[in-house]
Amino acid sequence: MTNERLALREMLKDKMRKTVDLAQTAQSRGEPMPPLQKPLPEDIPLIRLPDWQHNVGELQLPFSELVAARKSVRKYAPRPLTMHELSYLLWATQGVRKVRDDKSAWRNVPSAGNRHALETYLAVRDVTGLEAGIYLYRPLEHALVFLYTPDDYTDQFAKAVYRQLFVAKAPCSFIWTTIPWRMEWRYSEASVKVIALDAGHVCQNLYMAAQSTGLGVCGIAAYDQELMDALVQVDGTDEFVIYLASVGHVQA
Ligand SMILES: Cc1cc2nc3c(=O)[nH]c(=O)nc-3n(C[C@H](O)[C@H](O)[C@H](O)COP(=O)(O)O)c2cc1C
């Protein structure tokens, strides 16, 4: 066993709390709390997402049936996602249910210390009413911000997912980045493991929400870090991609 592999394994253990002085974290030292979501210019246009209630079908299946039926789906029907479906999936994965004093926001997924150090980008190819391109979800406003449409979109995306073409051609992909400081402010070096755990919760909610409404998902951890960071225009240090998932209607 190499020392490098042993060191990586250590990241999966909760040893940090015994080695990190939690009394010396940025929060304990009184540094300002990071914002609840990524700061953007105030005048940036928001695309409000519609109320999804009553507009997505088949939500009545018993939970046990959803669990039993869940599987990774890599073949999508040539059919666009609707804005209601997208709204529902974003609500299920990162929707905000309660805000207190602009300091804490509880979302529909759990997060270590309620820090929610994740951002959701969308690679939209075929969603009714949306131009193809890269979007950022605003959980506090339940809205989208259009960022840009990449040149050679499909080719660039395909390279960034090591030519997993079903991802590059899916109607929509969720691309989760982390802004580690949001977690590190409270947990210092102990943040790494819990950020990864948080991402798993988010993608599982995507799987289950999709399953409940006739959509299919495939979680994707095989991607080129630099190319994917470039696709969503993040710096790769203070914010970088950690996970993604493709979504589409299940091919009958
Ligand atoms: C963390 C994670 C990463 C994954 N990465 C990929 C991937 O890059 N490409 C892919 O085709 N499937 C990927 N999958 C899907 C798995 O291959 C799939 O979950 C597994 O084969 C079990 O199938 P099931 O999801 O239908 O139960 C990933 C799943 C998880 C949870």
Q: What is the pLDDT of residues 91-127, one digit of tens each?
A: 999 999 999 988 899 999 999 999 999 999 999 999 9
Residue nearest to atom 9 of ligand 1 (CA): 220
Ligand 1 pocket, residues with Cβ under 6 angstroms? 71-72, 164, 218-222
Q: Which tens digits make up the pLDDT trace of 45-55? A: 999 999 987 66
What length does the chain have? 252
Which is the closest atom of ligand 1 to the Cα of 207? 25
Nearest CA to ligand 1 atom 15: 219
Domain containing 220 — which CATH number? 3.40.109.10
In this prediction, residue 191 carries a pLDDT of 94
pTM of the complete model beyond 0.75: yes
**Domain hosting residue 111, numbered range:** 3-249
Strand partners, 173: 123, 246
Beta carbons of 194 and 48 less than 8 angstroms apart: no
Tally of domains within the chain: 1
User: pLDDT band at residue 19, thresholds of 50, 70 and 90?
Assistant: confident
